[in-house]
């Protein structure tokens, strides 16, 4: 008996690697620390540290005469943030983000639905790639493509001209808020580019949610006399909603913080991202820039909390 | 009969899906056309003529080459750092249970869940507080931070599929932890890591928002393009560079897709 019992305990391994391996096996917490240490140190110091340093600066203020940062705790910068002009910027950005999210969902849904329910085998793979390639292709190139399209001498004007409906475009551009000199300097242009760049992020979460809807649920609905519209409204849409909310996290957050698109295609009125950029750059007012970044953090925090309650994270 | 009716695609859906896909792809195709246009001053459509001369012009531009080299270098080093850190994190999260596991996942996702401008300005103010001058390494630091999540997502998905009994069998056969990693785990996660690395490379190669805050005077290829977009100097060269960027980013994405397509979770599902 004793011989058998002893053979259960292997002799100690030779070599440093062997002994180290045994040590980790006996002390899993040490192994965990070794594994998690480097990434957590990196993210904790580089990322959270920077974020914290930034947020801290929003409680400082800038000396109006010298332009230097006054390192004393104050809420003056936040008072400045809630001035009328800045509230205007925040409101403009949030409504743009909401509108972009809504339209992205409308455009993305049919693609996701087709891919989830009808595409099979080779077509499914093709659909996946057709969504992935634009999603991952260069952000700046996408924006640049739209600069080509929306330019006054570009393809869109040419297209409207060929159809003899140029007056339609002109009438739209003459409208007060959405219009402008040309599409590339109007809110309409900004909006189209936002939808184009962020919409692909909506497709895959919706598709994932729709794929989890059992086909016989839809059949049952129509067997019970539901019209396609009713089936959509009472069966498909509620089940797809977590996916839509999950996708909207991306479209909303990305629109909220973008400063390049409105700078390249858009009117001169600022969005939050541009305000942050201008405050930290030319204006040199880091405290106000920091206070501005708190706005998307708070909005996204509230948004994520709501999304979590709606079960959107299970759809990711 | 019934199922036949259900499986037929409604026409409206077909049109909406096709239109949506066309909306996603046509603008990128247009880039390819514009790279050949003879028009220099405007974005005129249709192009008055086609030429390949701009490829030669772009080829001989030292500033394009400098930006391209910098971008490739940054992406390569940021990807290497992200591979190590992301894999370590994925191994810890998927192989062990510990307090605060959810928090760790959240922390990794945070750099891309929050708008890029926040990451960028946070890093910039941290550099200025710590008196770190802008350099090649400050760019890499920023890029690696948001590339970790891409590697992590791919590695975690693959780790979940490795059965625990495989590792136990290796241990029973007398392999130590390092041998198990080398001969059992690594061959299993290899393609997922390669795919994650390719996506991280593509992400870093294309990044502009964080880079504007961490680059100082140097310009990566996206920064070069951004400057051309704001103050166009030579539009045809920009057209050619845009087309090359499209091709360079498509290759790693296609590669990542083919490496992971048999898995239940395919690479790049979340950027």
- Domains for chain B: give ranges and CATH numbers: 62-270 (1.10.3720.10)
CA dihedral B140, B146, B149, B152 (to 10 degrees): 10
pTM for the structure as a whole: 0.84
> Hey, is the C-beta of B258 within 8 angstroms of any chain A C-beta?
no
With an 8 Å Cβ cutoff, is B230 touching chain A? Answer: yes
Arithmetic mean of pLDDT over chain A? 83
Mutate to test the interface with B, among A140, A142, A194, A265 (most CBs of B within 10 A): A140
Place of tokens 């922390």: B107
A151–chain B Cβ distance below 8 A for any pair: yes
The 8 Å CB, 24+ separation contacts for A86-92 are: A86/A275, A86/A292, A89/A270, A89/A271, A89/A272, A89/A275, A90/A272, A90/A295, A92/A269, A92/A270, A92/A271
As a CATH number, domain A82-315 is 1.10.3720.10
- Produce one character per residue of A25-35: b if its CB has 16 or more CB atoms within 10 Å, e if not: eeeeeebbeeb
Q: B225 and A139 in contact by Cβ < 8 A? A: no
Measured CA to CA, the distance from residue A148 to residue A166 in angstroms comes to: 18
E-state strands within chain A: 61-62, 69-70
pLDDT 10s digits, A57-76: 888 877 777 777 777 787 87
List pLDDT tens digits, range A162-204: 888 888 888 888 888 787 778 888 888 899 999 999 998 889 8
**CB nearest to A149's CB, from B27, B178, B254:** B27
Residue B147 contacts residue B204 (beta carbons within 8 Å): yes
Chain A positions touching B25 (Cβ under 8 A) are: 130, 133-134
Distance CA A283, CA A99 (A): 30
Sign, CA torsion A145/A146/A149/A154: negative
**Minimum CA–CA partner of A29 in chain B:** B98
- Cross-chain residue pair A134–B25, CB shorter than 8 Å: yes
CA distance B131 to A20: 39
Please tell me the distance in Å from B218's CA to the nearest CA on chain A.
17
Taking contacts as CB-CB distances below 8 angstroms, the residues of chain A near B131 are none
In the predicted model, residues of chain B with pLDDT beneath 70 are 1-7, 262-271
State how far the alpha carbon of B156 is from the alpha carbons of A204, B80, B146, in Å: 19, 17, 16
Tokens encoding A37: 């240490």
Specify the pLDDT at position A195. 93
**Radius of gyration for chain B, computed over Cα atoms and rounded to the nearest angstrom:** 23
Which chain A residues are Cβ-neighbours of B17 within 8 angstroms? 110-111, 113-115
Q: Which residue has the tokens 């409204």?
A: A233
- B89 to chain A, closest Cα gap in Å: 6
Nearest-CB residue to B113 (from A118, A253, A258): A253
Q: Which of B68, B104, B117 to mutate to test the interface with A (most CBs of A within 10 A)?
A: B117
Tokens for B1, please give them: 């009969």
Q: What is the CA radius of gyration of chain A?
A: 27
Q: CA-CA distance, A231 to B64, in Å (whole number)?
A: 55
Q: Residue A281's closest chain B neighbor by CA?
A: B213
Q: Which helix or strand (DSSP H or E) is residue A11 part of?
A: none
Mapped onto helix, strand or coil, the DSSP state of residue B216 is: coil
> Shortest Cα distance from B232 to chain A (angstroms)?
11
Supply the pLDDT for residue A312. Answer: 66
Residues of A in contact with B249 (CB under 8 A): 136-138
Give the three-state DSSP class for A286: helix
- Phi, psi at residue A49, to the nearest 5°? -60, -50
Q: How far is CA B104 from CA A39, A41, A51, B99, B119, in A?
A: 10, 11, 16, 10, 18
> Backbone phi, then psi, for B50, in 5-degree steps?
-120, 145
The alpha-helical segments, DSSP class H, found in A58-183 are 76-81, 84-117, 121-136, 139-150, 155-162, 166-174
Beta bridge partners of A69: A62
Kind and range of the H or E run holding B104? helix B101-113
Sign of CA dihedral A120, A125, A130, A132: positive
Give the whole-angstrom CA distance, residue A308 versus residue B109.
15
How many residue contacts between A and B have a Cβ separation below 8 Å?
A: 260
Tens of each residue's pLDDT in chain A, 316 residues? 444 445 555 566 667 777 787 787 777 777 788 888 888 888 888 888 888 888 888 888 777 777 777 777 878 788 888 888 888 899 999 999 999 999 999 999 999 988 888 888 788 888 888 888 888 888 888 998 898 888 888 888 888 888 888 888 888 888 887 877 788 888 888 999 999 999 988 898 888 888 888 888 888 888 898 888 888 888 888 888 888 888 888 888 889 888 889 988 888 888 888 888 888 877 778 888 888 888 888 888 888 888 877 766 665 5
Pull the structure tokens for residue B7: 């499986």
Structure-block tokens of residue A7: 């053979």
Taking contacts as CB-CB distances below 8 angstroms, the residues of chain B near A25 are: 177
Give contacts of A107 with chain B, Cβ < 8 Å.
20, 23
Q: Give the minimum alpha-carbon distance from A25 to chain B in angstroms, rounded to a whole number.
A: 8
Tell whether B6 is within 8 A of chain A (Cβ). yes
Residue A100's pLDDT is 94
Cα distances from B198 to residues A34, A47, A98, in angstroms, run 26, 23, 33
Mutant choice from A18, A20, A27, A39 vs B, greatest count of B C-beta within 10 A: A39
Contacts of A162 in chain B (CB under 8 A): none
Interface predicted TM-score (ipTM) over 0.90: no
Residue A51 tokens, joined = 């974020």
Domain ranges of chain A: 15-57, 82-315
pLDDT of res. A105:
92
Mutation for testing the A interface, residue in B11, B29, B45, B134 having most A CBs under 10 Å: B45
Is the omega angle on the peptide bond into residue B46 within 30 degrees of 0, that is, cis? Answer: yes
């Amino acid at each position: 008996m004793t011989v058998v019992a002893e053979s259960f305990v292997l002799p100690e391994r030779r070599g440093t690697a062997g002994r180290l391996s045994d040590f980790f096996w006996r002390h899993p917490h040490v192994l965990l620390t070794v594994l998690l240490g480097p990434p957590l140190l990196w993210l904790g110091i580089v990322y959270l540290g920077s974020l914290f340093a930034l947020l801290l600066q929003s409680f400082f203020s800038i000396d109006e005469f010298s332009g230097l940062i006054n390192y004393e705790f104050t809420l003056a910068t936040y008072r400045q943030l809630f001035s009328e002009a800045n509230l205007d910027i925040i409101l403009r950005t949030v409504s743009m983000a909401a509108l972009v999210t809504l339209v992205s969902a409308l455009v993305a849904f049919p693609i996701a639905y087709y891919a989830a329910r009808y595409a099979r085998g080779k077509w499914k793979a093709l659909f996946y790639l057709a969504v992935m390639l634009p999603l991952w292709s260069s952000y700046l190139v996408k924006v640049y493509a739209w600069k080509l399209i929306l330019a006054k001498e570009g393809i869109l004007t040419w297209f409207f001209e060929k159809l003899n409906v140029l007056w339609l475009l002109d009438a739209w551009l003459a409208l007060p808020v959405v219009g402008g000199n040309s599409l590339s300097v109007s809110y309409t242009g900004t909006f189209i580019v936002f939808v184009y760049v962020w919409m692909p992020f909506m497709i895959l979460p919706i598709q994932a949610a729709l794929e989890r809807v059992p086909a016989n649920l839809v059949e049952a609905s129509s067997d019970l006399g539901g019209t396609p519209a009713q089936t959509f409204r009472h069966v498909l849409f509620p089940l797809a909603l977590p996916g839509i909310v999950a996708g909207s996290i991306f479209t909303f957050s990305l629109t909220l913080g973008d400063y390049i698109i409105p700078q390249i295609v858009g009117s001169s009125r600022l969005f939050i991202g541009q305000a942050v950029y201008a405050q930290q750059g030319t204006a040199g007012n880091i405290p106000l820039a920091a206070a501005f970044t708190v706005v998307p953090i708070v909005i996204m925090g509230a948004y994520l909390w709501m999304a979590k309650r709606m079960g959107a994270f299970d759809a990711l | 009969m019934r199922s036949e009716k259900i499986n037929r695609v409604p026409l409206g859906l077909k049109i909406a899906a096709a239109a949506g896909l066309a909306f996603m792809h046509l603008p990128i195709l247009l880039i390819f056309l514009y790279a050949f246009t003879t028009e220099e001053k405007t974005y005129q459509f249709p192009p008055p003529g086609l030429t390949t001369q701009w490829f030669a012009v772009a080829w001989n531009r030292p500033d394009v080459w400098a930006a391209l080299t910098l971008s490739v270098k940054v992406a390569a080093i940021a990807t290497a750092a992200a591979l190590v850190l992301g894999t370590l994190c994925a191994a810890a999260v998927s192989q062990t249970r510990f307090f605060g596991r959810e928090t760790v996942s959240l922390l990794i996702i945070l750099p891309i869940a929050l708008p890029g401008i926040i990451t960028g300005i946070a890093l910039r103010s941290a550099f200025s507080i710590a008196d770190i001058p802008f350099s090649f390494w400050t760019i890499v630091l920023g890029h690696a931070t948001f590339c970790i999540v891409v590697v992590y997502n791919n590695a975690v998905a693959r780790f979940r599929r490795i059965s625990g009994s495989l590792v136990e069998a290796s241990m029973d056969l007398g392999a130590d932890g390092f041998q198990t990693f080398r001969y059992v785990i690594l061959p299993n996660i290899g393609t997922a890591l390669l795919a994650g690395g390719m996506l991280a490379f593509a992400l870093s190669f294309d990044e502009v928002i964080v880079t504007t805050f961490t680059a100082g005077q140097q310009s990566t290829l996206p920064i070069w393009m951004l400057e051309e977009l704001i103050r166009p100097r030579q539009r045809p060269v920009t057209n050619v560079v845009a087309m090359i960027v499209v091709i360079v980013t498509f290759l790693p994405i296609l590669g990542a897709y083919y490496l992971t397509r048999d898995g239940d979770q395919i690479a790049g599902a979340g950027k």
